[in-house]
Amino acid sequence: MHTQLHSMSHLFAQLGLPADEAAIESFIASHRPLAHGTALYRAPFWNASQRAFLKEEIIEDADWAAVIDELNGRLS
């Protein structure tokens, strides 16, 4: 069984964003929905390092992929 290694709070902290529940909910509310067909890492609100991290973790299906997929779903 595959378990999620990282939480949404951990992901936001990794991205250098406020990581408390209220800040996460506010971020999601203010950035959704993503334009149809836009990959999460291509969204205009990321800086270059955030974009690179998200892209790399998804492409490599790395430890962060599950929580990044969750964020993608919540922004859709």
Q: What is the CATH number of the domain that holds 39?
A: 1.10.10.1130
**Residue 3 — pLDDT band, cuts 50, 70, 90?**
low
With respect to residue 26, please indicate whether it lies within any of the assigned structural domains: yes
Name the residue among 19, 23, 22, 17 with its Cα closest to residue 9.
19
With respect to residue 2, please indicate whether it lies within any of the assigned structural domains: no
Looking at the structure of the chain, the number of domains it has is 1
Q: Which amino acid is at 63?
A: D
Q: Which domain holds residue 48?
A: 8-75
With respect to residue 15, please indicate whether it lies within any of the assigned structural domains: yes
Contacts of 24 (CB under 8 A, 6+ apart): 8, 9, 12, 18
With respect to residue 1, please indicate whether it lies within any of the assigned structural domains: no
With respect to residue 48, please indicate whether it lies within any of the assigned structural domains: yes
Q: What integer pLDDT is reported at residue 5 of this predicted model?
A: 82
Q: What integer pLDDT is reported at residue 1 of this predicted model?
A: 39
Average pLDDT over residues 12-18: 98
Q: How remote is the C-alpha of 28 from its chain's centroid?
A: 10
With respect to residue 3, please indicate whether it lies within any of the assigned structural domains: no
